[in-house]
Amino acid sequence: MTDYFSQLSEDVRFQEGLNACINCGTCTAICPAAEVYDYDPRILTDMLQTRNNEMVEELLKSDMIWYCGECMSCKTRCPRNNVPGLLVIALRNLSQKTGFFTESEKGRQQLFLKRSIGEWILNYGYCVYAPHLHTSMFPELGDVWDWIDNHMDDVFTRVGAKLGKDGPGILRKIQSEDLDELKAIFDATGGTERYETIEKYSAKKAKEMGLNLDETHNNEYFLKIYNDNDKNHHEF
């Protein structure tokens, strides 16, 4: 059996995040995710410190590792300097490397994040880009955003922005030579490989589930992972 625990141990975030947990539960008391999900960072930390490889594999395939919001409130409060939030980041990293992320409903959502935030980074140089934000996907953007969306250039110009224009400024057009450097960094450091891995395992899972998945944002698998939320995630 693959030694997943050893692979996790190579991650500096895992090394920083796991000291001797005394099971006090302070992290769980402070955790915003524990309030809304069947999630307990104390249990997660305790599972990892057993060094049980089968348990690690179970975690990599589970919804549990995707509940955390990475707010890092646990970092401030732990009396023993454990950081469950960092452990989660290391677990999510390995879950994607191994393809196990598609085994859970919450893990499968990585495809949406890759195709939105991930691609906006490489296409525009921004994690978020206003021309792609609409109330159809994000209804809480509100009535005011519908007005902004309908008059985007005018509204942004009114407040001093340079949306899509050359030179420095707010939401300026990031030039192709800078985007090329960004892409070269992704190619050299594993970023591009990560994106390809997410696509590859998602395509495999979509086929297994009998759902259509194409390159657009409008297909059965993509809409399912964006919208579906099993109520059992919130059963305590």
Partner 1 sequence: MEQTGKKAIWQEYQKEIAEDKYYYARSCIRQNFFPGSEHAFLNILRNNLKKDLHDDAKHTTCTGIGYHSDVVPMETTMTVVARNFSLMTEAGYQNYIPSCITSFGLYTEIIETWKHFPETLEKTRDFLFKATKRTFDLPNNLAHTSDIIYKFRHEIAAMAKYKLVDVHTGRPLRIVDHIGCHYSKMFPEKGVGGAEYPYVLAGMVEAWGGETIDYPERRHCCGFGFRQYLVKANRSYSLSASRKKFESMQPYEPDFIITNCPGCPYFMDRWQYVIAETEHKVYGAGGKAIPVLTYEEMAGLVLGYNPWDLGLQMHQVPIEPLLEKMRIAYNPAEKYLGVNGKDLGKPVIPELFKYQDE
* CA pair distance 222, 216, nearest whole angstrom: 8
Compare residues 47 and 179 and give the one whose CB is closer to partner 1. 179
CA distance 179 to 185: 10
Strands (E) across the chain are located at none
The CB-of-84 to partner 1 minimum distance in angstroms stands at: 13
Say if CB 56 and CB 5 are below 8 A apart. Answer: yes
Write down the least CB distance from residue 55 to partner 1, Å. Answer: 21
Residue 223: burial class (beta carbons within 10 Å; 0-12, 13-18, 19+): middle
3-state per-residue secondary structure call for 59-92: HHCCCHHHCCCCCCHHHHHCCCCCCHHHHHHHHH
Q: How far is the CB of 42 from partner 1 (least distance, A)?
A: 18
Name the residue nearer to partner 1 (CB basis): 158 or 208. Answer: 158
In this complex, which beta carbon is closest to partner 1, that of residue 158 or of residue 210?
Answer: 158
CB of 89 to partner 1, least distance (A): 7
The sign of the CA dihedral 97, 98, 99, 105 is: negative
Q: Pick the closer one to partner 1 by CB: 54 or 89.
A: 89
Could you tell me which of 74, 72, 52, 71 has the C-alpha nearest to residue 1? 52
Q: Are 126 and 120 in contact (CB under 8 A)?
A: yes
Nearer to partner 1 (CB atom), residue 5 or residue 39: 39
Alpha-carbon span 236 to 229, nearest angstrom: 16
Cβ 29 to partner 1, closest distance in Å?
Answer: 12
> What's the CA gap between 78 and 25, in Å, rounded?
9
Please, which residue, 54 or 69, has the CB nearer to partner 1?
69
Nearest distance in Å: CB 77, partner 1: 9
Q: Indicate the residue among 133 and 203 with the shorter CB distance to partner 1.
A: 133
Q: Which two tokens stand for residue 194?
A: 């990560």
Minimal distance, residue 203 CB to partner 1, in Å: 16
